[in-house]
Amino acid sequence: MADEQKEQKPQMLPDPDFTALRRLCQEYIDRADVEGGNFVEDNDDDHYIYEAAIEAFFGEGVWDWLNNRPYHDDDETEDA
């Protein structure tokens, strides 16, 4: 059955590794503190920090699971 083949929903890791998240957050703050404001408002820091946080809590494989989730539009039928 399709339900049996469905990947298990990721669970939070019991001992998260915050190494990458700490590094990215420190780099973010360091860039904001550079004299002359070497801080770019439209950079992707928030995206990278978000990804690092999700990976810290759920592991790197979380993206495979998330990226393979069906979209809501996929559930709609074209019979009308």
CB-hemisphere CA count at 13 Å for 67?
A: 6
Q: How many CB atoms lie within 10 A of CB 21?
A: 20
Write the CB contacts of 21 (distance below 8 Å, at least 6 apart in sequence). Answer: 49, 52, 53, 56
State what percent of residues in the chain have pLDDT above 70: 70
Q: What is the chain's percent helix, strand, coil content, to nearest 5? A: 50, 0, 50
Mean per-residue pLDDT over the chain, rounded: 81
Give the sign of the dihedral formed by CA 68, CA 70, CA 73, CA 79: positive
Residue 64 tokens read as 């495979």
Tens digit of pLDDT for each residue in 42-80?
678 889 999 999 999 999 999 999 999 887 554 555 554
